[in-house]
Structure 1
Amino acid sequence: MAVMEPCPAYPNHSRTDLHFLKPKPNLRLRVSSTTTIRCELATLPVLSFDGTQVGTAALNLKSAPSDTARAVVHRGITTDLTNSRRGTASTLTRAEVRGGGRKPYGQKKTGSARRGSQRTPLRPGGGVIFGPKPKDWSVKINKKEKRLAISTAIASASESIIVVEDFEDKFEKPKTKEFIAMLRRLGLDPKKKSMFLMTEISDNVRLSSRNIGTLKMLTPRTLNLFDILDSQTLVLTKGAVDFLNERYGDLGEDDEEEYELEEWEDADEGSEVEENPDTTD
């Protein structure tokens, strides 16, 4: 049997009995831990218009840690999908439907249920109960968080990225057949979803690819998270690789960005948390 150790300050009490001297634990302590954003370097082969390898290109993008990458990308895509909602659906209530001011029939002596308006929601042509009304569904997301979601999605798809030389001058006129032949030379299946990211899209390239339903032609201005996740293969031009490295890449160790992960933990779990200093009103 364990011997109760007396407390020097309170001889009549053991140390375990002095719970009344301990501060009440806060069950909702906010723990802020700092996690460094890592950079992933991928060496990608560069293919020519004929499909032969002519060199390599380095893609160095910032990426969220593995334990939070899924949450960062999920927040970015849900924000895009939510902001794309128009929110213009609208129905008429019984107060907004035209007509219904006259009482259809007398209150009594008809054998039917009483009715005060012909535009009640129980009748055809009546108002709608709890129907949709115009609503603003837009939500905000931090600019750095949105960029991190895009760079994380691209970095995670590095195994399915192809880099090609600029081929805008290869199409003298719009020809879908020639564009499909180029896809096959690059090892792509025209029936599978692919995304092209180019710094500039000429009219001949745009017209040659617009009839291919599985193809997305994007520029830095139209780059979005949904098309990145929805594509099975990402095709980048050398100019697009330079753009991604400049906008979503690492600028150096001195400019290394950090972001905070906020977690809620119970104080009883024994985690070491600094107490906030006392503040006076």
Structure 2
Amino acid sequence: MATSAATLSFFSSSLFLSSPTAKLPPFLSLSSKSSSSKPILSVSSQLSTLPILSFTGEKVGETYLDLKSAPPETARAVVHRAIITDLQNKRRGTASTLTRSEVRGGGKKPYPQKKTGSARRGSSRTPLRPGGGVIFGPKPRDWSIKINKKEKRLAISTALSSAAENTIVVEDFGDKFEKPKTKDFIEALKRWGLDPKQKSMFLMMDVPENVDKSSRNIGGLRMLTPRTLNLFDILNCDNLVLTPDTVDYLNGRYGEEYEGETEDDEEEEGAEDQNDDGTQ
């Protein structure tokens, strides 16, 4: 695999660690192979060569993945901010408790002020009694936070660039499955050099019904489309599988030649908003 001066390694990254010598998480790595000690202060493009495999597992060619990526000095912060934004925007914020004024009852004094031998009680709704109100309890709120579109796009492209070492391209296999069968899909994974027990993410432009049904019973496998592509699944997988059409899409969407917002971008943002509203 041919890469540029600075290479982000997907499995041994220090993107989320303050010390580069600390123990690294299993799905992120950051290694710098710069020929110069001068720091990189701008967004760069990383060219990675990926093998193209046939459905039978034979190498039939090569392609390239040319994506924008943040420099090593800021990659950790960019990806961290984007993943925190995605996770926090999924919070529904519906937790609610009753204050003293909202608890039902309590209009009558529970017992006389004196001659009972007990503490004075003016109301049964007091937070000091079981069934009373809650002091400083949670109320419905909006947890969502904002992130710039260019910043989020840069975080996704940086994560995809870091996954290039463990990425393969498979020729379109949508018509290879005549009927849904998980066993056939597992055999295909083995032919492509993938372990069915590892976490694998497939990114396809369109997922045929037979492919979807054949893969959905494999626990560590995620089948995504450009509308459902998200940063968490990219970081949480061990292997990334693309199709030739997906490579062209990624180079156009996250590469240097990207010009601006398109109709596909608006559709993706609408789908993300629906996911944020419907998840907990």
Q: Structure 1 length normalisation: TM-score?
A: 0.76
Alpha-carbon offset, residue 63 of structure 1: 0.4
User: Alignment RMSD, CA only?
Assistant: 1.3
Unaligned runs of 5+ in 1: 1-33, 256-281
Partner amino acid, structure 2, of 1:217: M
> What is aligned with 1:249?
255
CA deviation string 1:1-44 (max 9, x = no partner) = xxxxxxxxxxxxxxxxxxxxxxxxxxxxxxxxx93210000001
Alpha-carbon offset, residue 190 of structure 1: 1.1
CA deviation string 1:120-174 (max 9, x = no partner) = 2222211111111101011111111110000000101110111111100001111
> What is aligned with 1:138?
144
Partner amino acid, structure 2, of 1:144: K
Q: Structure 2 length normalisation: TM-score?
A: 0.76
> What is aligned with 1:122?
128
Q: Does 1:182 align with 2:217?
A: no
Provide the secondary structure at the position in 1 that maps to 2:242.
strand
Unaligned runs of 5+ in 2: 1-39, 260-280
How many residues matched? 220
Equivalent of 1:209 in 203, 215, 240: 215
Equivalent of 1:38 in 21, 41, 44: 44
Write out aligned runs for 1:194-273 (5 A).
Answer: 194-251=200-257
> What is aligned with 1:65?
71
> What is aligned with 2:34?
none
Partner amino acid, structure 1, of 2:197: K
Equivalent of 1:111 in 108, 117, 120: 117
> What is aligned with 2:56?
50
Higher strand share: 1
> What is aligned with 2:268?
none
Provide the secondary structure at the position in 2 that maps to 1:201.
coil
Alpha-carbon offset, residue 119 of structure 1: 2.0
Question: Which is greater in Rg?
Answer: 1
2:47 and 2:179 map into 1 onto residues whose CA distance is 37
Taking every aligned residue pair, what percent have the same amino acid on both sides? 72
Alpha-carbon offset, residue 118 of structure 1: 1.3
Partner amino acid, structure 1, of 2:113: Q
CA deviation string 1:215-239 (max 9, x = no partner) = 1110000000000001111111111
